[in-house]
Amino acid sequence: MERYILRFILLFRGVWENLGVNFAQFKIILETKVTLDNRKPITFKKRNTGKSSSSSSIIQFILYMIIGLMFMVILILIPDRYLALSIMLLCFISMLSITLVSDFSPILLDTRDQYIIMPKPVNDRTIALSRITFIAIKLFNQVIALCLPLLIYVFFNWDIIAIFLLVVQLLLSTLVALVFVNGFYLISIKYLPIQKFKDIITYLQIGLSMIIFLAYYLGPNLIQTIVESQLTIEQLKFLWLFPSTWIASFQSLLLGDHSLQITLFSVLGIAVPLFGIYACTQLFSRGFNAKIAALASADAPLPESKVISQNLTKRPLYKKLGTKLCSSPLEEAGFSIVWLISSKTREFKQQLYPSLAYLPIYFVFLFLRTGEGLPIREKLVKLGESGLYIVMFYLSLLTILTVFQLITQSNKYKAAWIYYVTPIDRPGQFMTGVLKACLIKYVLPFNVLFLCICVPLFGISSINDLLLSSAVGGIESILIMLFLVKNYPFSKASQSSSKALVNLLILGLLGLLGYLHKVIFQYELLIWGLAVLAWILFFIMLKYLQKEDWKSLAFDDN
């Protein structure tokens, strides 16, 4: 499919040359990128076979068709065509934008071209547009899958002109998503320092992961509210701000609504994508080559003056915590290494922070689902009386599992040689420091947050519930360290090997413990007694962890 799309794009040679592109170079770059991309092996298997296969593309096509069925449902459920199209196109643009940021950012910001293309006499505009066009080629595979169920439905229910207009609207919506995301990147990379740009990309991807998760839970409820209340586009004025509403107005023009508002929206629906193309090609592509080359460089160290000033000021927080919580210099070293590297490694934050951000969304969803239709005060009373708030305590323990799955992996794992040339004679103490850093940095903040929320809402009796669940989390973390962690921190190459069975067992155990806790939560003395016993068991296991010989940490040539 990609080859046919490429051939179609290359038919418009005059258009590309008018945009300032060297067409011969543009054609070679695109053909090479498409050829190399088709030779990639399947990535979702545990081990790549090194052979190209079309099965991954077929599976991906089917998955996007299933999402396209959801878009079709919006048109079926909402009788107002203008409102239905506005919401559907908004979901469509959002889906494509999230895909562009999460999956195609490495293509736009690929630094490998500096070794082959950039040393050649290829101008900035040709390189920038070749990357954007290659993204568009790959994106159209998804667009076809997303739109196919929708187009089949309207083919049997709309007239031919409306179908043709819908195709134009889908193409314009795709262009809006493409121009918006790439324009944002081009503007950011043009005007921001390289280090800040890297941080923005990381946190943008984290934020979009949260949006996907939130939309998964809240989207169906919003659609149901719109359908049941029979709302119109005039009542949902916030939709006027989105390009999807402007593009959807074409159908209203076709149906005979020639009001000033619809006409203005239609003009915006055509003008904004075209202006976006002009801005990306003429205004923001200059200097693109140099910036992409700079992205390949490592993070810049602090200036020497700042390092000296920091040394003269107060000790950082992790140093104070390490001194107070660790019993030996070796344990403090493990604590400091994990604290610092996890704070500075973008790949680690990009994988971990979305799972941390899901917890508040879980709480919001739990609150909305409890006693639907009841006032807020009665919802809170029901949460307290039923003990459902305890579920949040055990959901937060899932963070431990995610942290320890990621803590041993790194793209720069070869730097781990330092572990094997230093005299670490008691690796148990070192790994205990690793454990303490993970608990203090990623689990304790949630416990403090839950304490501040639950005590005012559900009373002082919730303190012992939190203490018991925290002790269970500590015991869980030690067991994970002993049986699942087989490497030093950040010493193993990043890989997609799945431990689904182990994860399911841990999740099942946490679910069982949470359920048992909920059953007995009204017996205050019993909860206090179990909490004390659990904390005693935790400290005993911590001492055992310190004495563990950790034979699994022996040198293994990655």
pLDDT value of residue 285: 57
| Mean pLDDT (the chain, rounded) | 76
Query: Could you tell me the pLDDT band of residue 539, with boundaries at 50, 70 and 90?
Result: very high
Give me the helices (H) in 158-229, please.
160-191, 194-229
Assess whether pLDDT exceeds 90 at residue 536.
Answer: yes
Q: How confident is the model at residue 528 (pLDDT cuts 50, 70, 90)?
A: very high
pLDDT confidence of 533, banded at 50, 70, 90?
very high
- 31-45, 282-296, 474-488, 495-509 — most confident range: 474-488
Question: What average pLDDT does range 364-391 have in this prediction?
Answer: 73
Global model pTM greater than 0.85: no
Instruction: Give the gyration radius of the chain's Cα atoms.
Output: 28
Q: Is the pLDDT of residue 396 over 50?
A: yes
Q: Mean pLDDT over residues 523-529, rounded?
A: 90
pLDDT band at 205 (very low <50, low <70, confident <90, very high): low
pLDDT at 50 exceeding the cut of 60: no
For the chain, helix, strand, coil in percent to 5 are 75, 0, 20
Q: Which of 85-99, 474-488, 517-531 has the highest mean pLDDT?
A: 517-531
CA distance 150 to 147: 5
% of the chain beyond a pLDDT of 70 = 77
Per-residue confidence band for 482, with pLDDT thresholds at 50, 70 and 90 = confident
Q: What is the spatial distance between Cα 54 and Cα 35, in angstroms, rounded to a whole number? A: 13
pLDDT at 48: 42
Residue 313 has pLDDT above 60, yes or no: no
Q: What percent of the chain has pLDDT over 90?
A: 3
Question: Tell me, what's the pLDDT at 56?
Answer: 55
C-alpha to C-alpha distance for 472 and 475, rounded to whole angstroms? 5
Q: What is the pLDDT of residues 79-95, one digit of tens each?
A: 778 888 888 888 888 87
Q: What is the pLDDT of residue 385?
A: 77
Instruction: Write the pLDDT tens digit of every residue in 90-123.
Output: 888 887 877 777 666 666 566 666 667 767 777 7
Q: Average pLDDT for residues 16-23, to the nearest whole number?
A: 79
Instruction: Tell me the average pLDDT across 421-435.
Output: 83
Gap between the Cα atoms of 335 and 447, Å rounded: 20
* pLDDT reported for residue 46: 40
Does residue 546 or residue 212 have the better pLDDT? Answer: 546
What's the average model confidence in pLDDT over 392-401? 80
For residue 384, pLDDT beyond 60 = yes
The whole-number pLDDT of residue 558 equals 47
How much is the average pLDDT of 218-239? 73
Structure-token pair, residue 270: 């055509």
What's the pLDDT at 538? 92
Residue 507 has pLDDT above 70, yes or no: yes
Please tell me the distance from the alpha carbon of residue 445 to that of residue 438, in angstroms, as a whole number: 11
Question: Alpha helix (H) ranges present in 439-550?
Answer: 444-458, 462-483, 500-520, 524-547
Position 416: which residue type? A
pLDDT tens, residue by residue, 158-194: 888 888 888 888 888 888 887 887 777 777 777 777 6
pLDDT at 130 over 70: yes
Taking 50 as the threshold, does the pLDDT of residue 451 lie above it? yes
Q: What are the residue ranges of helices labelled H in 387-461? A: 390-396, 398-406, 417-421, 427-438, 444-458
Determine the average pLDDT of the residues in 212-232: 70
Q: How far apart are CA 168 and CA 166, in angstroms?
A: 5
Report CA-CA distances (Å) from 130 to 8, 331, 407, 412: 15, 51, 37, 30
pLDDT at 200 (0 to 100): 74
pLDDT tens-digit readout, 314-335: 678 888 888 888 888 888 888 9
Does pLDDT of 52 surpass 50? no
The pLDDT assigned to 181 comes to: 76
Indicate the DSSP class of residue 328.
S
Task: Give the pLDDT confidence score for residue 298 in this predicted structure.
Answer: 47
